[in-house]
Amino acid sequence: MEADEADGTITIPTGSRIPVALQHAISTKSAREGDSVYAHTTFPFVLNERVLVPAGTYIQGKITSVKRGGRLHGRAELLLHFTTLIYPSGYTVVLPGAVENIPGAEKTTMKDKEGTIRQDSEKGDKAIKVARNAEGGGVAGAVIGGLSSGGRAAGIGAGIGGGAGAAIALLSRGSDVRLEPGTMIEMEVQRPITLDAARISGGRRAR
């Protein structure tokens, strides 16, 4: 899309993608809907040989949905939106931005087009955890049973301990989505953004 220089404005078109980095950690364990999000751009956004958003531009946003991992099923999910661009000069612009991709986060995937970040499936890890807890619980139960009366009691103790160990593993919550400070996020502009060309720091043509 061509920049409209006639009236002194420049437009960032819908679908533009801008790389940003988080300035603080976010976790579904402690995050709440409405919490603020702070980030900054890591690379200049250039259109028609003009820098429209320089590196180091501040980005504000908010968390719009948080879901912790379930005990038996259901993965942790996090939805956030970016709301404001703040240029180094102080020029502030309303930003309709969503998360398009999170190349800097581990064990997470994008769930939908809204930008929901979801923890990867832990079915395999959960099965291993259940087995280990059952085994460990069985050993502990056998020891306790053996010390009390030996023989048959040891077998019963092993069964009880194993069942308890498996239950503890199954009832533990799934892992939380956690985004560390500096996590790289690809932000997508959801609606056109009109900028005042005279107020953009770094608004000169790229060389």
Q: Sorting pLDDT into bands at 50, 70 and 90, what band is 116? A: confident
Helices (H), 59-151: 123-148
Q: Sorting pLDDT into bands at 50, 70 and 90, what band is 73? A: low
Among 131, 122, 156, CA closest to 141: 156
What digits encode the pLDDT tens for the residues 31-48? Answer: 999 999 999 999 999 999
Provide the 3-class DSSP secondary structure of residue 190. coil
The pLDDT, as a whole number, for residue 68 is: 85
Show the tokens assigned to 124. Answer: 């395999």
Alpha carbon distance 57, 59 (integer Å): 7
Q: Sorting pLDDT into bands at 50, 70 and 90, what band is 79? A: very high
Helices (H), 37-187: 123-148, 152-171
The single-letter DSSP state of residue 104 is T
What digits encode the pLDDT tens for the residues 152-199? Answer: 555 555 555 555 554 444 455 568 889 999 999 999 999 999 999 999
Q: Sorting pLDDT into bands at 50, 70 and 90, what band is 117? A: confident
Q: Is pLDDT at 72 greater than 60 in this prediction?
A: no
For the chain, what is the total number of helices (H) and then of strands (E)? Answer: 2, 14
Domains within the chain, CATH numbers bracketed: 9-120+176-199 (2.40.128.260), 123-171 (no CATH)
Place of tokens 């770094």: 202
Provide the 3-class DSSP secondary structure of residue 163. helix
Alpha carbon distance 61, 97 (integer Å): 9
Where residue 89 falls (left for φ over 0; alpha for ψ -120 to 50; beta otherwise) is: alpha
What digits encode the pLDDT tens for the residues 129-153? Answer: 444 555 555 544 444 445 445 555 5
